[in-house]
Amino acid sequence: MRRLLKNILLILLLLAISGVAWVGYQFTHPPTLDAYAKLSFQEGSTKDAEVRATFFGVSTLLFEDGKNSILIDGFFTRPDKLSVLTRKISPNLDVIGQSLKRANIQHIDAVIAAHSHYDHAMDSPEVARRTDAILYGSMSTANIGRGWGLPEQQIHVVHHGESVKVGAFDVVFLNAEHAPTGFTGGEIEGPLKPPVRANQYKEGQCFSILISHKGKTILVQSSAGFVKSGLSGRHADVAFLGIGTLGKQTDQYREEYWHETVKATGVKRVIPIHWDDFTRPSNAPFAPMPRPFDDFEKSMAFLLNQGEKEHVEVKFLYPWIEIDPFK
């Protein structure tokens, strides 16, 4: 009896050790991006672009037309795993400053937080402050702005169906759902003053954002969730499609997500976003989120297969590269 117990304990110990070793291996060996180079945009093609777009990881995206600019989220701090799990976090002013400089961003008209999780909205008020932008988002996002001391006249709470004009850009906010990750829901009820734990950046309202410019429309879907028929009757040409944790969902979920976003809006080009491991600094090479948190390759295989079936082009966009999203 004793011997049996000893053997069981030994097996459990071996299983625990190999589990830890497996997770450690996955962290240090995330999926590579090599296979997607052929899907990437050609550099230097933005000269005649009506709209230029740059991706900075997660769903941080800059859209400019030469006169006005819109930045979704503006998340650059990207605290490491240990900080996120064990410490309080706050915007890193040096990293934000360096990032804005590297991206050659001086003024922005609108900083739009797609939802209020830290990997979207934590840096938004500081970016808005430095660039004299108006911060747009949910009440929770507004409370992140207030906690940071952003003046009230630079904070604008938006609601479902609201449209905002930014020069020639027309931005429409529609309620969306977050991907089912286990970290969803909740509101930030009052001014949130960092440093705070990452989980205090509650989701708030998650938005699908439609950005129209001279007859062409971009859908930004920050998280791989959807509201049934939430986008029906809306049109978009290009979707920046959040795929964070999409690889961990069921086949049926992935199909529904495609149906409710890409198919519902008639999008002809899909550009995945929110695929990167956002606990890596943005000045280091980007890598997909490692297993067991996600399955990037499964998401990409799904998009490519679906795209081929339905004649939707899937492009891969590396961070820090300016592109013409419509070309």
- Per CB under 5 A, which region of 15-23, 72-80, 110-118, 271-279 contacts Zn ion? 110-118
Token reading at 275: 């695929």
| 52 makes contact with Zn ion (CB under 5 A) | no
Of 117 and 248, nearer to Zn ion (C-beta) is: 117
Taking the complex as a whole, the smallest distance from the CB of residue 117 to Zn ion amounts, in Å, to 3
| 117 makes contact with Zn ion (CB under 5 A) | yes
- Per CB under 5 A, which region of 80-88, 117-125, 148-156, 250-258 contacts Zn ion? 117-125
Taking the complex as a whole, the smallest distance from the CB of residue 128 to Zn ion amounts, in Å, to 19
Of 61 and 105, nearer to Zn ion (C-beta) is: 61
Scored b (16 or more CB within 10 A) or e, 25-52 reads: eeeeebbebeebeebebeeeebeebebb
Alpha helices in the chain (DSSP H): 2-28, 81-86, 93-102, 118-121, 124-131, 139-148, 251-258, 264-265, 296-310
- Per CB under 5 A, which region of 3-11, 111-119, 249-257, 258-266 contacts Zn ion? 111-119
- Residue-by-residue DSSP string for 205-268: -EEEEEEEETTEEEEEE-SS---TTTTTT---SEEEEE-TTGGGS-HHHHHHHHIIIIIHHT-S
Of 46 and 141, nearer to Zn ion (C-beta) is: 141
- Per CB under 5 A, which region of 112-120, 147-155, 194-202, 229-237 contacts Zn ion? 112-120
| Site for Zn ion, residues 12 to 41, rule: CB under 5 A | none
Give the sign of the dihedral formed by CA 312, CA 313, CA 318, CA 319: negative
- Per CB under 5 A, which region of 26-34, 51-59, 114-122, 277-285 contacts Zn ion? 114-122
Taking the complex as a whole, the smallest distance from the CB of residue 223 to Zn ion amounts, in Å, to 5
Radius of gyration over every alpha carbon of the chain, rounded to an integer in angstroms: 20
Taking the complex as a whole, the smallest distance from the CB of residue 79 to Zn ion amounts, in Å, to 15
Q: Is the peptide bond before 292 cis (omega within 30 degrees of 0)?
A: yes
Alpha-carbon 102 to chain mean position? 20
Taking the complex as a whole, the smallest distance from the CB of residue 219 to Zn ion amounts, in Å, to 17
Taking the complex as a whole, the smallest distance from the CB of residue 170 to Zn ion amounts, in Å, to 25
Half-sphere exposure for 216 (CA within 13 Å, toward CB): 16
Nearest-CB residue for Zn ion = 117
Residues in contact with Zn ion by the rule CB under 5 A: 117
